[in-house]
Structure 1
Amino acid sequence: MENLDFSIVAPYQSILLTGLYWTLLLAITSAFFSFVLGISFALIVLYAPKLIKIPVEGFMWLFMGTPLLLQLFLIYYGLVQIGIDIPALGSGIIGLSLHFAVYNADILRAGIVAIDPGQVEGSRSIGFGRYQSIRYIVLPQAIRNTLPAMGNNMIFLLKDTSLVSVIGIAELVHGAQLAISETYSPFEFYIAVAAIYYLLNLMIILGLKFLEIRVEASR
């Protein structure tokens, strides 16, 4: 450790801050879409006609059964061959969003199934339609009950933003690699990036704890 010189990190802080910006942009945008799509997929699997349900289940199975890195390659490099040219940032957001949406959907589906059917029957008895029962009774409870698990997915999503460097997005790890290529000091920059990821994860954990406390207080 005595050979480490962290003073060399400071001159490259602009590169790391740029990487942090793209990491946060990817993580926040993908987290939002993965949450919205996760709800949509879960509701389709549980309530949609088979004509819609079966293709979505196949799509979810495909994304669960293949690694995120391969999915990013297929979206960014593969779709070009059939005339669909998506920029690197768009490819990264699409890949991360879809990859984690299927896991959020699986978690949320289990949360919906766990809701007492009597609550739905009770809501129908007071005049709620099927859509209203799902929207106002089932879905809020399922989201509340599965919040910790989906929050863990957001932590995994943040860490997996590092994979988008393979398609040319200058996120944190990519920025560190640029600095390392000039300084030949990998340990200092990788430790600095690891510390940044740790702080970001800590912020997410604290945010989730706050949400859980608020949710428990509202019960």
Structure 2
Amino acid sequence: MFDFALILESVPFLARGAVYTVEVSVLAIVFGLVLGWILGLAAVSGVGWLRAITWAYVQFIRGTPLLVQIFLIYFGLPAFGIDVPAFWSGVIALGLNSGGFQAEIVRAGIESIDRGQTEAARSIGMSAFQALVFILVPQTIRRVIPPLTNELITLTKSSSLLSAIAALELTHAGQLIIARTFAPFEIYAAVAVMYLILIAILSRGSALLERRVFVNY
């Protein structure tokens, strides 16, 4: 029989896990955003070795499972004498993963802009760097907002993989309760509902942001 009382009793602890999930996801998306822009700009630069490094990095991120990347950070850093808590291992791993995907989003956004705008900027005396900063980047920001908000939603759901390194995010919080209560169905149902609430809030916020900033060309 479905135990609603157990769910109500578990909500405070699950809420702590949900807060942990939000904190990890927000920090990781910010880290990924910075890394993604650096790599995205490198990918469209005229510097061959920068483009090669970016290509190799993106291929590694896209070609390996996120769980393996999490393990590489969590177990790899201590192997080099760097002791990092599970929370920050999760932020680093998710941020590095997100940065690879965001790099492709930024690259595609820049390349979607008519090359004639760059040529026009150069014809009035702008350097390539000035054309990039003042002409291409502002337009790219508007164009990449929808896919970047989708990346945040994907990252939030992917944070459940951090349960594999005992990070106290929402899924792992549920697993700890299950180990004590032996009621997996009720607890995982509650976890699913909490994820739905988190994603609904993020989706609503993303829609509002897109309405305010996104401009169709």
Calculate the TM-score normalised by the size of structure 1. Answer: 0.92
User: Residue 76 of structure 1 contacts residue 85 of structure 1 at CA under 8 Å; is this kept in 2?
Assistant: no
2 CA distance for matches of 1:64 and 1:167?
21
2 CA distance for matches of 1:22 and 1:51?
38
Instruction: Name 1:82's counterpart in structure 2.
Output: 80
How many positions carry a matched residue from both structures?
Answer: 217
AA of the residue aligned to 2:137: L
Q: 1:65 aligns with which of 63, 66, 73?
A: 63
AA of the residue aligned to 2:153: I
Two-structure CA RMSD over aligned residues (Å): 1.8
2 CA distance for matches of 1:33 and 1:76?
17
Instruction: Name 2:93's counterpart in structure 1.
Output: 95
User: Residue 172 of structure 1 contacts residue 193 of structure 1 at CA under 8 Å; is this kept in 2?
Assistant: yes
User: Residue 27 of structure 1 contacts residue 161 of structure 1 at CA under 8 Å; is this kept in 2?
Assistant: yes
* Worse-matched range after superposition: 128-137 or 36-45: 128-137
Query: Could you tell me how far 1:95 is from its partner in structure 2?
Result: 0.6
2 CA distance for matches of 1:125 and 1:90?
47
2 CA distance for matches of 1:51 and 1:117?
23
Q: 2:141 aligns with which of 140, 143, 159?
A: 143
| 1:63-212 pair list within 5 angstroms | 63-212=61-210
Calculate the TM-score normalised by the size of structure 2. Answer: 0.93
Query: Could you tell me how far 1:45 is from its partner in structure 2?
Result: 1.3
Query: Could you tell me how far 1:127 is from its partner in structure 2?
Result: 3.5
2 CA distance for matches of 1:48 and 1:62?
22
Instruction: Name 1:42's counterpart in structure 2.
Output: 40
Query: Could you tell me how far 1:139 is from its partner in structure 2?
Result: 1.4
Q: Identity of paired residues, percent? A: 38
Q: Does 1:25 align with 2:32?
A: no
2 CA distance for matches of 1:132 and 1:138?
9
2 CA distance for matches of 1:51 and 1:125?
28
1 CA distance for matches of 2:68 and 2:50?
26
Query: Could you tell me how far 1:50 is from its partner in structure 2?
Result: 2.3
User: Which structure 1 residue ranges, 4+ long, deviate > 6 Å from structure 2?
Assistant: none
2 CA distance for matches of 1:217 and 1:65?
33
1 CA distance for matches of 2:14 and 2:144?
34
Structure 1: give runs of 5+ residues left out of the alignment: none
Instruction: Name 1:15's counterpart in structure 2.
Output: 13
* Worse-matched range after superposition: 7-16 or 123-132: 123-132
User: Could you give the per-residue CA deviations for residues 144-195 of structure 1, whole angstroms, max 9, x where no partner exists?
Assistant: 1122222211111000111111112111011111111111111111111111
Query: Could you tell me how far 1:84 is from its partner in structure 2?
Result: 3.2
AA of the residue aligned to 1:70: V
User: Residue 67 of structure 2 contacts residue 161 of structure 2 at CA under 8 Å; is this kept in 1?
Assistant: yes
